[in-house]
Amino acid sequence: MNKRIIQTTDAPAAIGTYSQAVRVDDTVYMSGQIGLDPVSMQLVDGIEAQIHQVFRNLSAVATAAGGSLADVVKLNVFLTDLGHFPRVNEIMATYFTEPYPARAAVGVAALPRGALVEADAVMVTG
C-alpha cells in the first residue's frame, strides 16, 4: 500500500486533527470542505457563495492530488437546511459533468464554524 498525505495552500488549512486528503494508491480520500476562503480562513457569506467555495476548495485539493473533480467517484454533501439542496444541484452542475459521481445529501443540525454546507469526496486517478 502506497499512502501519501495531500496538502495545498490553495484550499483552507485543516482546522483540526486531519489532513486535507490522503492518497492510497490511486484512490484519494478528501476531507470535508466548508466555505472557507483559503487566504483569509474566513467563511464566505451566504449559501450560494459557500456552495461555490466548497467546490473550489475540493477542486484545489483534487488538483494537488494529481486529479480533478472529473475524477471524483463519490461525493457527500451535508446541509444545515435541506431546502438549499436544489441550489446545490444547480451549482454542482457547473463543476461536474456527466457521468456524475455517486452522491449522498444529508441534513445536519450544525457544521463547523457555522457553515451552511460541507462536502467531502473520494477520487480515483490513474
Rounded mean pLDDT, 55-79: 98
pLDDT at 123: 98
Residue pLDDT, tens place only, 71-90: 999 999 999 999 999 999 99
Q: How confident is the model at residue 126 (pLDDT cuts 50, 70, 90)?
A: confident
Domain boundaries, the chain: 3-124
Element (H, E) at 49: helix 47-64
Would you state the cell numbers that stand for residue 38, as one nine-digit string? 483559503
3-124 classified as CATH 3.20.20.150: no
Q: Which tens digit of pLDDT belongs to each residue from 100-109?
A: 999 999 999 9
Residue 4, pLDDT score: 97
With cell 459521481, the residue in question is 101
Q: What is the 3-state secondary structure (H, E, C) of 50-119?
A: HHHHHHHHHHHHHHHCCCCHHHEEEEEEEECCHHHHHHHHHHHCCCCCCCCCEEEEEECCCCHHHCCEEE
